[in-house]
A and B are shown apart, each in its own frame.
Chain A
């Protein structure tokens, strides 16, 4: 079992729709969770961090964390073509090691 799993996609949504990206992790002691966006040929850029169970909203983005189910998700409302990218889920395990998922490719169709 991979430590951090994401559906590789591609996930295709029409412009204006909600994109839902999911991530599961295996280490129960993980405490810190992050979503990054990476455009092709570019470096990852931080979208959001989340540490507590529940929802965290920032503009069009909402991160959701459920530690009991070892599940973290990212919702993108009113998706735009410029949101087309690969979205990386990252988890800091007990200690300092950060594990990234392989990423989900998102395509937003105009």
Chain B
């Protein structure tokens, strides 16, 4: 069984560009979570989605950040007009029940 997949694994953007991060959950999982991790820091919850619905986006900045999990296809975390402070590792996790979460390999975003 394939695990949680994320792409790209590494993404380089210049300030002001857009970053799109993709997450395909494990087969049979309909719950997706996004986290951000800065170097030497813990995981920070950003958003929790189920198919076509945002359940909790309390950890996501109000501006420039958005997330979706369409009926078909992967979940997308979108960052518009990136700034250097957005450089981090972004992890996606999926769950079958909304409880135990399994993580993908992450996307390392570097903003030049």
A25 to chain B, nearest CB (A): 14
Query: Interface readout for A38-50 with B: 1 if CB under 8 Å, 0 if not?
Result: 0000111110010
Q: Complex: how many Å from CA A42 to CA B43?
A: 12
Contact of B56 among A46, A95, A100 (CB under 8 A): A95
* Docked-complex contact B103 and A34, CB < 8 angstroms: no
Contact of A12 with B by CB under 8 A: no
* Docked-complex contact B100 and A49, CB < 8 angstroms: yes
* Docked-complex contact A43 and B41, CB < 8 angstroms: no
Q: How big is the B interface, by class? A: 20 to 34
Contact of B11 with A by CB under 8 A: no
Name the interface residues of A53-84: CB closer than 8 Å to any CB of B: none
* Docked-complex contact A44 and B100, CB < 8 angstroms: no
Name the interface residues of B8-63: CB closer than 8 Å to any CB of A: 33, 35, 41-45, 48, 55-56, 58-59
Given known contacts A43-B91, A44-B91, A98 and B45 CB-to-CB distance under 8 angstroms? yes
B32 to chain A, nearest CB (A): 12
Contact of B48 among A42, A96, A103 (CB under 8 A): A96
Contact of B45 among A36, A100, A101 (CB under 8 A): A100
Contact of A99 with B by CB under 8 A: yes
Residue of A nearest to B4 (CB): A43
* Docked-complex contact A98 and B42, CB < 8 angstroms: no
Contact of B99 with A by CB under 8 A: yes
Name the interface residues of B58-112: CB closer than 8 Å to any CB of A: 58-59, 91, 98-106
* Docked-complex contact A43 and B104, CB < 8 angstroms: yes
Contact of A92 among B58, B99, B104 (CB under 8 A): B99
* Docked-complex contact A88 and B100, CB < 8 angstroms: no
Contact of A7 with B by CB under 8 A: no
Q: Complex: how many Å from CA A43 to CA B103?
A: 7
Q: Which residues of B contact A49 (CB under 8 A)?
A: 99-100
17 interchain pairs, CB-CB under 8 A? A36-B103, A43-B106, A44-B43, A46-B100, A46-B102, A88-B42, A92-B99, A95-B56, A96-B55, A96-B56, A97-B45, A97-B59, A98-B33, A98-B45, A99-B45, A100-B43, A102-B42
